[in-house]
Amino acid sequence: MADLSPFGLSPHQWRALHVIASHDGEPQRQRDVAAALRIAPRSAAEVLSQLETEGLIARTPDPSDKRAVLLSATSEGLELERKVHAVRSQRGDEYFATLGAEDRAELTRLLGLLLEAHPRPEEGWRPPRGGATPPSA
């Protein structure tokens, strides 16, 4: 993930920022971010603290649960997520350019079958904006 170094992000920080920013402004609980990242909430706390220190996310009390904290991307975090996402999408386009339209469609179909057969265990999980399938032709 060398494409992250110019942005000053580690792969863990990028994934966490992407999960938080990809929910259309809807704040996320730390445990939900940890579940989406498939890591323990304690491990997520360190990465989230780094993002908060950099001013990329903000923590606010959850009005519905005094023990919980909501996480949202700041305007700086959203801007950085957009930039990194654009670079990574471009690299993905370049990578999958080797495949013709039929091959891309077949790969998308096969990946869909795998996702259906092995669903994510997290309740309420949804793929981030942009999804995990190769770009369309």
Q: What mean pLDDT is predicted for residues 2-25?
A: 89
pLDDT at 74: 96
pLDDT at 11: 92
Q: What mean pLDDT is predicted for residues 57-85?
A: 93
Q: Is the pLDDT of residue 132 over 70?
A: no
Report strand pairing: 65-73 vs 28-29.
antiparallel
Window from 84-88, 108-112, 124-128 with minimum mean pLDDT: 124-128
Gap between the terminal Cα atoms of the chain: 24
- C-alpha torsion sign, points 29, 62, 64, 82: negative
Window from 31-35, 47-51, 105-109, 128-132 with minimum mean pLDDT: 128-132
The full set of domains in the chain, from first to last, is 2-117 (1.10.10.10)
Percent of the chain, pLDDT > 70? Answer: 85
Q: Is the pLDDT of residue 137 over 60?
A: no
Q: What mean pLDDT is predicted for residues 81-86?
A: 94
